[in-house]
Chains A and B, each alone.
Chain A
Amino acid sequence: MAEAAESPGDPGTASPRPLFAGLSDISISQDIPVEGEITIPMRSRIREFDSSTLNESVQNTIMRDLKAVGKKFMHVLYPRKSNTLLRDWDLWGPLILCVTLALMLQRGSVDSEKDGGPQFAEVFVIVWFGAVTITLNSKLLGGNISFFQSLCVLGYCILPLTVAMLVCRLVLLAEPGPINFMVRFFVVIVMFAWSIIASTAFLADSQPPNRKALAVYPVFLFYFVISWMILTFTP
């Protein structure tokens, strides 16, 4: 039993009261029940979750992946500093975007095949090899982002440019002229800036601070080339 230190108020007392002296007077009353139930709410559901992805319907699987892709699209369209794209990366979004862009950038087969705009394969190769080169570049410069995370970010940030392509296609249905061109130019410039800002928001933190510009410049070149292809597209 601990003894109380001498309280400074009464220096003269010879025998101090022991500490917790009154505790022994308290007794646990007989009529406070000490019993109950402890339930773990997730207990049974965890085991169901593991096997449920096998048994769920195809629609559930597809919807889950589509929702993940759509959520990342939202993160690209409203870029904040978050690492959702980096944490749960996937390459479905980049694939969808790249295929859409390449399909829309394709010329009709009526024109001569020797000269002209990019074919599907050319756009595809430029996008994917460009993304791989930029990723290798940032890793060689000492960035601590993984290969597929970087591919994921670069691919998802093509979304504004795909939107620009759609808008340009619609604008091109109207009559050609300088106004037409100015509208398309403006849209492409805005979407290009949006892509750069979105990708920089995700990628810049993973680079060493004295090499950020070195890592961002290839991204700039990459989106510039894609924007050029979009702007000079004529059906």
Chain B
Amino acid sequence: MAAVDDLRFEEFGDAAASLAANPDTTTISIEDPGDTPKHQPGPPGGSGREEDDELLGNDDSDKTELLAGQKKSSPFWTFEYYQTFFDVDTYQVFDRIKGSLLPVPGKNFVRLYVRSNPDLYGPFWICATLVFAIAISGNLSNFLIHLGEKTYHYVPEFRKVSIAATVVYAYAWLVPLALWGFLMWRNSKVMNIVSYSFLEIVCVYGYSLFIYIPTAILWIIPQKAVRWILVMIALGVSGSVLAMTFWPAVREDNRRIALATIVTIVLLHMLLSVGCLTGPELTSMPTFLYFIHGMPTTVGCQAVPCPHPRSEPVNPGLPRSGTCELNCCSTGQPMKQFLSLYVEVSF
């Protein structure tokens, strides 16, 4: 039986006191790492770390510059490689969209918003939304034009989606590819300070298409003046975003080439907007059907007279979407009448 005293709780005091009393005793000291009494640059080191954190947290550009070299290190056949292109947060996407809607002269979209973190999320989903917006608004305006007619049978034209998708996605990928190739070629001739990577160009083009989404939705309004004002606004905004982005990349070059590049960019953009939104005025070729807004095809085709005397159209024209196919009796040749001549293109 052990003595009772051995089992009693004893206060040992702190380590220093027991060491002082009996130098051979073993003591354990657990100290807070913060109040270590070492003579090291503890506080300066600590605040230095905080400063680093602040620097990294507040100033994105330094961090992204630092990380830019480490970003694309995965080989291209792994999933992580493609994840680096989707490394954006919600607020960043909103900021980029806002930047494409409000071009400020002197501020470069790429430098200000993209900042070596180009993403593919924006371009891809903006193009997808634009495709569906164009198709839906085309169908809707078609429907609204014929709202009162009893004989009109509304068919949702699904081919529009495929054509719209092809055009929009080809524009959003092939034009940046061509532009990037052109800029690389000029860079080899003339030393430019500013050069963009392919993904940054895709990013700029993708976000610049955002303005067309509300434009396409508002295109349902059948007034011609309203539509043209909308197109002008959209073209102005997105064209200026593109021009202000690419001007620094070409301005060291030969003056004429620089101007020609910018003009080409704006022209292509104008072609896309006009082609997408005002299809019927361009479609004189029956095989090249764009989005048919408000074409009262039934009325126009039946009014077409055969130019040859004493002949009547054999096939008074079950109108297909865009062409009236009449066969002239005397010659037997099909006559494809251009709709703009006979049909009130009511905008």
CA distance A16 to B7 in the complex (A): 14
Selected from A6, A116, A212, the residue in CB contact (under 8 A) with B158 is: A116
Within 8 A of A (CB), among B191-206: none
Which residues on the A side are within 8 Å of B21 (C-beta)? none
Contact across chains for A117 and B86 when beta carbons are under 8 A apart: no
Which residues on the A side are within 8 Å of B136 (C-beta)? 228
CA distance A6 to B91 in the complex (A): 69
Known: A3-B4, A5-B8, A141-B121. A213 touches B90 (CB 8 A): yes
Q: A: which residues have CB within 8 A of B?
A: 3, 5-6, 16, 18, 111-112, 114-119, 122, 137, 139-142, 210-214, 217-218, 221, 224-225, 228-229, 232-234
Could you list 18 examples of A-B contacts with CB < 8 Å? A16-B4, A112-B320, A115-B320, A116-B155, A116-B156, A116-B157, A118-B158, A137-B125, A140-B83, A140-B85, A141-B86, A141-B121, A211-B88, A213-B90, A217-B125, A221-B132, A224-B132, A232-B139
Contact across chains for A3 and B2 when beta carbons are under 8 A apart: yes
B10 within 8 A of A: no
CA distance A190 to B217 in the complex (A): 22
Known: A114-B320, A141-B121, A214-B121. A229 touches B156 (CB 8 A): yes
Known contacts A115-B155, A137-B121, then 16 further A-B pairs from the complex at CB < 8 Å, ordered by chain A residue: A3-B1, A5-B8, A114-B159, A114-B321, A122-B158, A139-B79, A140-B83, A142-B86, A210-B90, A211-B88, A213-B90, A221-B128, A224-B132, A225-B132, A232-B154, A234-B154
Selected from A6, A118, A142, the residue in CB contact (under 8 A) with B83 is: A142
Contact across chains for A6 and B321 when beta carbons are under 8 A apart: no
Contact across chains for B155 and A234 when beta carbons are under 8 A apart: yes
Instruction: Tell me the nearest residue of chain B to A214, going by C-beta.
Output: B90
CA distance A34 to B4 in the complex (A): 40
CA distance A140 to B1 in the complex (A): 71
Name the distance in Å between A17's Cβ and chain B's nearest Cβ.
Answer: 12
Instruction: Tell me the nearest residue of chain B to A140, going by C-beta.
Output: B86
Which residues on the B side are within 8 Å of A111 (C-beta)? 155
User: What 8 A-B pairs come out closest when comparing CB atoms?
Assistant: A140-B86, A232-B156, A210-B89, A213-B90, A116-B155, A118-B158, A6-B4, A117-B156
Count of B interface residues, CB-CB < 8 Å: 31
Name the distance in Å between A50's Cβ and chain B's nearest Cβ.
Answer: 36
CA distance A119 to B1 in the complex (A): 95
Which residues on the A side are within 8 Å of B86 (C-beta)? 137, 140-142
Which residues on the A side are within 8 Å of B89 (C-beta)? 210-211, 214
Name the distance in Å between A117's Cβ and chain B's nearest Cβ.
Answer: 5
CA distance A72 to B154 in the complex (A): 37
Selected from B7, B82, B128, B156, the residue in CB contact (under 8 A) with A3 is: B7
Name the distance in Å between A233's Cβ and chain B's nearest Cβ.
Answer: 8
Which residues on the B side are within 8 Å of A18 (C-beta)? 1
Instruction: Tell me the nearest residue of chain B to A118, going by C-beta.
Output: B158
B74-88 vs A, CB cutoff 8 Å, 1 = contact: the mask equals 000001001101101
CA distance A63 to B4 in the complex (A): 74
B129 within 8 A of A: yes
CA distance A221 to B2 in the complex (A): 80
Known: A5-B8, A221-B129. A115 touches B159 (CB 8 A): yes
Contact across chains for B132 and A140 when beta carbons are under 8 A apart: no
CA distance A122 to B161 in the complex (A): 11
Instruction: Tell me the nearest residue of chain A to B121, going by C-beta.
Output: A214
Known: A3-B1, A221-B129. A117 touches B158 (CB 8 A): yes
Known: A116-B155, A210-B89, A229-B156. A221 touches B4 (CB 8 A): no
Which residues on the A side are within 8 Å of B139 (C-beta)? 232
CA distance A131 to B305 in the complex (A): 51
Instruction: Tell me the nearest residue of chain A to B318, going by C-beta.
Output: A112
CA distance A140 to B153 in the complex (A): 43
**Which has the most chain B C-beta neighbours within 10 Å: A122, A213, A214?**
A214
Which residues on the A side are within 8 Å of B2 (C-beta)? 3
Within 8 A of A (CB), among B119-161: 121, 125, 128-129, 132, 136, 139, 153-159
Instruction: Tell me the nearest residue of chain A to B3, going by C-beta.
Output: A3
B93 within 8 A of A: yes
CA distance A217 to B159 in the complex (A): 25
Within 8 A of A (CB), among B1-20: 1-2, 4, 7-8
CA distance A210 to B158 in the complex (A): 36
Instruction: Tell me the nearest residue of chain A to B129, going by C-beta.
Output: A221
Contact across chains for A221 and B155 when beta carbons are under 8 A apart: no
Which residues on the A side are within 8 Å of B153 (C-beta)? 234
Instruction: Tell me the nearest residue of chain B to A130, going by C-beta.
Output: B128
Name the distance in Å between A147's Cβ and chain B's nearest Cβ.
Answer: 11
Instruction: Tell me the nearest residue of chain A to B122, going by C-beta.
Output: A214
Which residues on the A side are within 8 Å of B121 (C-beta)? 137, 140-141, 214
Which residues on the A side are within 8 Å of B93 (C-beta)? 214
CA distance A234 to B143 in the complex (A): 13
Instruction: Tell me the nearest residue of chain B to A231, going by C-beta.
Output: B156
B1-45 vs A, CB cutoff 8 Å, 1 = contact: the mask equals 110100110000000000000000000000000000000000000
**Which has the most chain A C-beta neighbours within 10 Å: B82, B155, B320?**
B155
Selected from B4, B82, B90, B155, the residue in CB contact (under 8 A) with A140 is: B82
